[in-house]
Structure 1
């Protein structure tokens, strides 16, 4: 099982890596856009997750993982549907999405990090 601490660390490293990969020479314009939009979205919900990487902890780890899955499926779907993009770019998007789905499946959905105090615990 991947700890929430390791998952939180990856929530900063992986989007930065994807953003850099998106800027590679020869990258198709659609792929470049997807790889520019995904990382800021991921960073935004990471910052508000109740795990060791969250700065304003509001989202549960389960909600965070659901958003991760939505993002991963977006990459897979884009890779399948963007027929005018280079084959290598489409394969990269599908591969990134599938790798993220595997990472999600192995991640702990309960954080040890304490979120904001609520009346219900």
Structure 2
């Protein structure tokens, strides 16, 4: 142990897990699970693309694995929005209306950004 960090300042994994709130646990599970699902979806799409790597460049049709790759990327993009929705549900359940209003405002800003982006695309 270093002299710069006393023994009381370092936390073991069990003490850190014990101070996590239920919201933090749910968010961690959502982000971890969503990341795994998105990664596996992209990997499955890339595996489907592998046999057609040389012939895919000469076709005009969409290669068979591209929809899966696109779905995985979309899931990565949606994970922060799903996090906001989960937080909103928890805040409403806890009757914390201040944080609920802030979360709704952030969701509206995200929706407005998507609408403006779709308009300009």
Name which one, 1 or 2, has greater alpha-carbon Rg: 2
TM-score normalised by structure 1 residue count: 0.33
Structure number with the bigger relative contact order (C-alpha 8 A, sep ≥ 6) is 1
TM-score normalised by structure 2 residue count: 0.33
